[in-house]
Structure 1
């Protein structure tokens, strides 16, 4: 089985596992809490900001940890409900993942960049998990991120709203992020919302189970980018302002994210989202397995299969060919003063449209230098979806 077929299957299996774990987690709450969680999911899909009910507000006062867990579970449910509308799942080529993660963080990004996300409310499956040490000898494997929108606070909310030029939407009641998710393409969206899914593993390297299903933890953060700025500045601002207390769903309470962990998570996730927004992103629909073709659903049937899109598989294959040529050239005499190498990739903003008032971003892939005479294709191919 080829690597891209394995990655496609892995991405589909991962998001299906997360979906099942999410449903099992919701069923662990009593009926009033489930009613609130379900209302939040409906509100997200209709583009409304739900009010925190009296029962939930009372729980937040009496038992902040349990209240926080309930509100954050509602965040998670809203993101999954938004994803279920289109079920878009991006499977990322491992080589592209490495290359985009190494793109210059000082490249300036246009403020309207995230309006150009090609699909609504996707799940981005990481080709390799980000392993983070957690409590009780557990290791959290961040396997992907749900990308949704976030609404501004409603009038009269018992919350404080920060909608400044960049950073986290700090719409909070106490330390709890206000639940106001919406579609990435909702006209009322004020921010981009990221919900990281982390699968817990024990010291034995096996998945940690809760109630018989995978123990999935969630970390939520939302951010705005109203001004042109670099990726480095955006991440530095978020971490500096909110890195000490990022809402994370951990064993029924709020987890404090280590700033270094948060920086790594944001760097990887936001870099990939920027690539997806590039007009020349290499995105191709993955073929569906006959065993996974969606069928009409009846109560009790399995949900539809995710719609998997392969990202970076063509340019990733090209990069691997070039790198293999570089390795061979490093052990041979080339007669060149500068051996074959790749010039670093970067993002570049272009102006277009009437009066050049519109802007779009392109990812300029690595450029092969001094490859003439070697067996690699020297043409720089930047696929266009």
Structure 2
């Protein structure tokens, strides 16, 4: 499959869980109108009143000890429903992903920057799947993740859009599926059985270093990872948090593609808004890598030093009248010594 097809298949196959669960609710006697009403309330961001049949089902499952599983499935269904409203996919460039992976844990961040997400409720598709082997020996993979918001309704956390004015923090939803089964889905075979892990991306204070944010998130994520080893959870968090922070920087490198918007896709209900994340920066990094193997630079002292890549970092600062606005810049990795293309700037159009 092409990278576009893989991204679309990964997102829409995960959304298949939502349709399956909705069918199960309807089969259990929940009217379609109640489900539609609940989703309208979530979409509108209004105060949420649980429809009567869904409320009765929740009470009954609570008596049977199954309320937690039902609540988690309902939250997952509502979160995937938010993505279906806009169908935004960010396709992360592989070389930018590698660059982001080297950002220092000591970079200081401010929680306000997470309100700069360019588009509502996107799905970020990772360039390479994150593969896990649990203690049971079963290999699973994460191809990407969905982002939505969480707000408080009568002191209870409620799923909402990332762009809801009362959104408090972000919720990340990771679909996990058996390793190497996504291609079977694209070929029209049976949809693989998904498991979902949800975390809340919540700053421990007004500011935190990247390392503190990952560590704090990992502590709260511990109860939602099944048998995933601790080091695998850390890998998952670093691979997901850094791209989110990058999209929230000033003028991120994002370009909408024409893929996925054909008349055939719209007719089939498969049209998506696909954005390449880091296609200019990624190209610049690849150009430097192509020259690195054959170029050797000599320092002024006469010693020989191979060209290298200076690590990137996230820089947060205050701006505006009275320095009341918090913004974040991404200072990308810089080629040092011997890169003949170093004087060719990477031009990223300013986002209006």
Band of TM-score, shorter chain: 0.7 to 0.9
Distance in 2, matches of 1:119 and 1:220, equals 20
Equivalent of 1:61 in 51, 60, 63? 63
Comparing 182-191 and 262-271, the one that deviates more: 262-271
- Counterparts of 1:219 and 1:40 in 2: how far apart (Å)? 22
* Aligned-pair CA distance for 1:224: 2.3
Output the CA distance in 2 between the equivalents of 1:34 and 1:144: 32
How far the C-alpha of 1:135 sits from its partner, in A, is: 7.0
CA positional deviation for 1:144: 0.9
Question: What is the deviation of 1:219?
Answer: 0.6
User: Are the aligned partners of 1:150 and 1:192 in contact in 2 as well (CA < 8 Å)?
Assistant: yes
211-220 or 37-46, which deviates more: 37-46
Taking the aligned partners of 1:228 and 1:149, their CA distance within structure 2 comes to: 19
TM-score by length of 1: 0.78
Aligned partner of 1:8 in structure 2 is 4
Q: TM-score, normalised by structure 2?
A: 0.85
**Counterpart pick for 2:307 among 330, 340, 360:** 340
- Could you tell me how far 1:358 is from its partner in structure 2? 1.2
Kindly report which structure 2 residues correspond to 1:197-346, keeping only aligned pairs within 5 A, or say none: 197-201=175-179, 212-225=190-203, 226-240=205-219, 242-246=220-224, 255=226, 257-288=228-259, 291=262, 294-295=265-266, 302-329=268-295, 337-346=304-313
* Bigger Cα displacement from structure 2, 101-110 vs 285-294: 285-294
Shift of residue 60, structure 1, vs aligned partner: 2.4
1:26 corresponds to which residue? 22
Deviation at 1:293, TM superposition (A): 5.1
Is the CA contact 1:199–1:214 (under 8 Å) kept in the aligned structure 2?
yes
Contact 2:136 2:227 in 1 (8 A): no
- Whether 1:78 aligns to 2:43 is no
Cα pair distance change 1:230/1:33, threshold 3 Å: farther
Report if aligned partners of 2:108, 2:208 keep a CA contact under 8 Å in 1.
yes
Equivalent residue for 1:43, pick from 41, 55, 77: 41
Using the alignment, how far apart are the partners of 2:234 and 2:22 within structure 1?
29
Tell me how far 1:305 sits from its aligned partner. Answer: 1.1
Unaligned runs of 5+ in 2: none
Residue 100 (1) aligns with residue 65 (2): no
Q: Distance in 2 between matches of 1:352 and 1:99?
A: 26
Greater share of helix residues, 1 or 2?
Answer: 2
The equivalent residue for 1:110 is 110
Distance 1:339 1:212, change over 3 A: closer
Pairs aligned (count): 338
- Structure 1, unaligned stretches of length 5 or more? 158-177, 249-254
2:294 partner SS: helix
CA deviation string 1:168-225 (max 9, x = no partner): xxxxxxxxxx6x100111011121111111122379x977xxx932212111111322
After superposition, the Cα gap between the structure-2 partners of 1:333 and 1:362, relative to the gap in structure 1 and judged at 3 Å, is closer
Partner of 2:330: 363
1:348 to 1:231, Cα distance in 2 relative to 1, 3 A: same
Q: Secondary structure at the match of 1:273?
A: helix
Distance 1:42 1:141 in 2: 32
1:99-178 to structure 2, matched below 5 A, reads 99-134=99-134, 137-155=137-155
Whole-Å separation in 2 of the counterparts to 1:23 and 1:94: 31
Q: How far off is 1:230 after superposition?
A: 1.1
Alpha-carbon offset, residue 41 of structure 1: 3.1
Which moved further from structure 2: 31-40 or 81-90?
Answer: 31-40
SS at match of 1:28: helix
Computed over aligned residues only, the root mean square deviation of the Cα atoms, in angstroms, reads: 3.0
